[in-house]
Amino acid sequence: MTPVQIGAAPSIAKGVEWGAFFRHHRFAGPMDHTIVHFEIPANDVAKLTKFYGELFGWKIEKTEGEGMDDLEYNMVTTVPTDERGRPTRAGVNGGIYKRQDPNTPFTYYVEVESIDDYMQKVEALGGRILGEKMEVPSMGWTAFGADPEGNNFALFQPARPE
């Protein structure tokens, strides 16, 4: 597999390096299949970052780097993180970014042990996988899916520690 080059995926623009999106979600130990990341698409990124920052007191910082200017990706910290960017207590961090398509939905990411197994499980239970699994460089793998009623979600398999 090659690094992420998303065309039809629900949330991220082509060519964006995904490491920044998941850097704060690498956990050790058993998986609870919990939500580990969220993404909120915005027509006006400044307006939504101000809204959520002031409403909930979330720390929101623009992500810098190649491919990020057009996306206007902002990391949202809803709970404190350690020096490696991992949450130090229960909660989920995420992002707010420039909507690339008018139909882009809110997306949540669920951590799983095996992306391949869960892609098969989604389809066996009547859901759909939207595209191919994608490598998140130095972080793991992700795949987008939809439940039987069409609600989108994403699966995320962290890279195995070396």
- pLDDT digit string (tens) for 42-86? 999 999 999 999 989 999 999 887 767 778 999 999 999 888 777
Which residue carries 């990706």 as its tokens?
Answer: 73
Which H or E run includes 71? helix 68-71
Q: Is the pLDDT of residue 122 over 50?
A: yes
Residue 99 has pLDDT above 70, yes or no: yes
- Which tens digit of pLDDT belongs to each residue from 30-46? 678 889 899 999 999 99
- Half-sphere exposure (CA, 13 Å, Cβ side) for 6? 22
- Structural domains of the chain, ranges and CATH numbers in brackets: 19-158 (3.10.180.10)
Q: Report strand pairing: 94-98 vs 74-77.
A: antiparallel
Measured in whole angstroms, the distance separating CA 39 from the mean position of its chain's CA atoms is 6
pTM beyond 0.85: the answer is no
Q: Is 106 helix (H, G, I), strand (E, B) or coil?
A: coil
pLDDT score for 120 = 96
Residue range 129-161, pLDDT digits in tens: 999 999 988 889 999 999 998 989 999 999 876
CA dist 48 and 63 (Å) reads: 15
Task: Give 108's strand partners.
Answer: 38
